[in-house]
Amino acid sequence: MKKKNLFLKTLFLMLIVMFGVISCDFLANKTLRVPNSVIESKMKEKFPITKNFLIGKITVKNPKISFKDNRIYLITDYDASLLADRSEGVIGLNSEIKFDQKTSQLYLVDLQVDKILDKNGKDMISTPAAKSLKALVSNYLETNPVYKYDQEGKKKKVKVKNMFIKNGKLFVQT
């Protein structure tokens, strides 16, 4: 009886190892669509985000993300203190993405701020405070990665070669 249990446990362990190796080989050289639920869960881990700058502080929270054509669209609540002015409301932006294969980091490129609304829904995009907010957000997001694929830290076996948006969906190329 003990030999039979040991044999079954060994067989089970070997099957698990074999399926693990096969799955890694199976995922190599593939293009996979990332489900929106995965994207939303990763975003919830990161938000709210607060950044202190020389001229103020900005907090963004409650992000809503969507994809269209080859761009990512983000609408988020903001709370900003710039110089002596404090404001809060909604900021909407869109961008393309670029994956740096050497660093495994994802960047936003060609960033455009579509709207900046105050808490009452009034368009603020042409005000001096909104122009400062737009410049700070754009400069920060275009020079800092928004995602890092950590292959070593989490012992992932699959190497990501690229991430891109096509036809309103996010894809990962392995």
- Could you read off the pLDDT of 71-95 as tens digits, one per residue? 999 999 999 887 777 889 999 999 9
Q: What percent of the chain stands above pLDDT 90?
A: 33
User: Which of the four pLDDT bands, split at 50, 70 and 90, describes residue 21?
Assistant: very low
Average confidence score pLDDT of the chain: 81
Q: What percent of the chain stands above pLDDT 70?
A: 80
Query: What DSSP string describes 27-48?
Result: HTT-EEEPPHHHHHHHHHHH-S
User: Which of the four pLDDT bands, split at 50, 70 and 90, describes residue 97?
Assistant: very high
